Amino acid sequence: MFVDSHAHLDSPDFQPDLEDVLARAQESSVEAILTIGCVGPDLRSAEDLLRLVERYDFLYASLGVHPHDASCFTESLGAELLGLVAHPKVLAWGEIGLDYHYQHSSPQQQRFAFRTQIELARSCDKPIVIHCREAEEEVCSTLEQEFSEDTPRAGVLHCFTADEATAARCLRLGFYISLGGILTFRKSESLREIARDLPENRLLIETDAPYLAPVPHRGRRNEPSFVVKVAEELARVRGTMREQIGALTTANFAQLFNPGRASSGQISD
Ligand SMILES: [Zn+2]
Ligand SMILES: [Zn+2]
């Protein structure tokens, strides 16, 4: 019924009780989770993540070098990643993008890692998962250079918090928009207005767990079962039922990421 299209299950926060976290997700009708592997200078963490998703039918992975870690990105790391991304349960490349809020890596390093990984993802036909913070204009213009209009399975802007114009530019290229816990925050009135009008065939929901827990869990550890709270808020904003939001975001997830291609894919759509 629900899909969490962006979580970080390899976070140390989940180490003590991951089994329980996953059990609660299943009890809450979360039928698939895309867990994001942020690859560092060596690929060990990515290999650990692949072992995790192999153990559970309803887990899938995405791999990429996050803009925070762009300083460690090299062409040879990209080539090694290309090998891992061929794993049948890796549905996407990312999260990649630009983050000018923290600038853990320089803008030049971030640009190089972003563009190179877009090209790598396209070379193996994977949608990209985009992280964008305080870099909307540059992310949009980069995507406009790299993607033509209505590109099928282009990717998703995760944890969307930008404005309507940014959404429109990315939608035009074929991107999906994923909404997370921020949608439930009291001050997110303008985001709720945008969410109300987004086309229903491009909507996804996510937790970004362990970060950004939705109300009423705000400030505590987030987990995939809380994606239901995002669905409830999105349903309220759009004047529909959470089951309907669950059904359409699950169908959109299947459309974009094609989990049926994964060897032990279970998503029903
Ligand atoms: Zn992110
Ligand atoms: Zn993330």
The pTM assigned to this predicted structure is 0.96
Helix (H), strand (E) at residue 21: helix 18-27
* Average pLDDT of span 155-169: 97
Is residue 264's pLDDT more than 60?
A: no
With H, G, I as helix, E, B as strand and everything else as coil, classify residue 93.
strand
In the block, tokens 């086309």 appear at 199
Tens of pLDDT along 199-252?
999 999 999 999 999 999 999 999 999 999 999 999 999 999 999 999 999 999
Which ligand is closest in space to the CA of residue 130?
1
Distance CA 234, CA 255 (A): 20
Q: Give me ligand 1 centre to Cα 75, in Å.
A: 22
Cβ–Cβ contacts within 10 Å for residue 1, how many?
Answer: 16
* Average pLDDT of span 136-142: 98
Is residue 137's pLDDT more than 80?
A: yes
Q: What residues sit around ligand 2, an ion, with C-beta below 5 angstroms? A: 208
Which ligand is closest in space to the CA of residue 209?
2
